[in-house]
Amino acid sequence: MKDTMTPEESLQIIQKTISNSRKNMREGSFYYLLWGWGLILASLSNYAVLRYYITKEAYASLWWKSLLTWMIYIGIAMIIQYVHTTRASRKEKVFTHLDRYITTLWLSSGAIMALMVFFAFKVDSYPVPFILGITALATFVSGMMVRYTPLIVGGVIFLISAILAMYVGGLEQLLVFAGAMILGYLIPGYMLRTIKNGSDV
């Protein structure tokens, strides 16, 4: 038994790991589409609520109605994700260390996003640029890990959107957010669903 691997053998292991992670990501495109659509609907609903109540000058209960539009869609998405994850866990699949890194990356990013929402309210600012910035990092790194160009491009789009959101008003930030989700989540997600096993993504 050899104690060391040749460079060719090491490269084969790396390529196999990336290939398995790409396959899992293709099967996990459901999550990009779920959260893409969920957050798009949440941001557009929030935009509609804010636009309506600002026009009516009904500010008294605006904050909780604004928060409710996000919580409804996020709550529904979390329930759907839980059901889907529970069913998917019953199927056998190769779960690589790379998959664990990506999962940890998104879980930690989600926790930081929630923290940034409270931080933004604390400093009397809109959280959209912060959320888009964190999403840019997680999306870009995920794409780099599995060498998937559409996600890498999606990460760049999220970063550009985060910068753009800092220079527009609060309501317009919601539209920037929705547009970023379409380009950064939905398009890569649908592209993942169309590739075949073993295809170069």
Determine phi and psi for 175, rounding to 5 degrees: -70, -40
Sequential pLDDT tens for the chain (201 residues): 455 555 554 555 545 555 555 555 666 678 889 999 999 999 999 898 888 776 555 555 566 677 788 889 999 999 998 898 887 766 655 566 667 887 888 889 989 998 988 888 788 788 899 999 999 999 999 888 878 888 899 999 999 999 999 999 878 999 999 999 999 989 988 888 776 544 444
Asked if 129 contacts 172 with a C-beta cutoff of 8 angstroms, the reply is no
Cα 98 from Cα 7, distance rounded (Å): 20
Cα 188 from Cα 174, distance rounded (Å): 21
Give the pLDDT confidence score for residue 93 in this predicted structure. Answer: 58
Nearest alpha-carbon partner for 32 in 123, 198, 143: 143
Asked if 25 contacts 146 with a C-beta cutoff of 8 angstroms, the reply is yes
Please state the pTM of the whole predicted model. 0.79
